[in-house]
């Protein structure tokens, strides 16, 4: 499960780039599961770490101040 926060703080700090990068890396849109069933991608309003936005939750692990590169690198390690 990969969740990218898009609440106000995350959005202002570039969450849209993260959302686009995750979708591109997995070849799916928010709300979908990868063809092999390995990943489900969701956009959530608030992952509860506003002081660290933009934030991605990747398999339950918070990636603080995530950049699109950081998120995609982490996905690559999991595949």
Which domains, from first to last, does the chain contain? 2-78 (3.40.30.10)
| CA end-to-end distance (rounded Å), the chain | 13
Q: Identify the pLDDT of residue 25.
A: 87
Question: Using the 8-state DSSP alphabet, how is residue 41 labeled?
Answer: E
Q: Identify the pLDDT of residue 34.
A: 92
Whether the link from the prior residue into 54 is cis, omega within 30° of 0, is yes
CB 41 within 8 A of CB 30: yes
Report the greatest alpha carbon distance in the chain.
Answer: 34
pLDDT along the chain (79 residues), means of 10: 87 87 91 93 85 74 68 69
What does pTM read for this prediction? 0.77
Q: Identify the pLDDT of residue 32.
A: 97
Q: Identify the pLDDT of residue 40.
A: 94
Q: Identify the pLDDT of residue 53.
A: 66
């Amino acid at each position: 499960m990969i969740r990218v926060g898009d609440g106000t703080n995350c959005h202002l700090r570039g969450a849209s780039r993260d959302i686009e990068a995750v979708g591109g890396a997995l070849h799916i849109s928010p709300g979908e599961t990868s063809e092999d069933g390995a990943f489900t991608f969701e956009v959530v309003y608030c992952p509860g770490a506003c002081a660290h936005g933009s934030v991605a939750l990747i398999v339950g692990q918070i990636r603080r101040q995530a950049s699109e590169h950081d998120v995609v690198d982490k996905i690559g390690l999991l595949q």
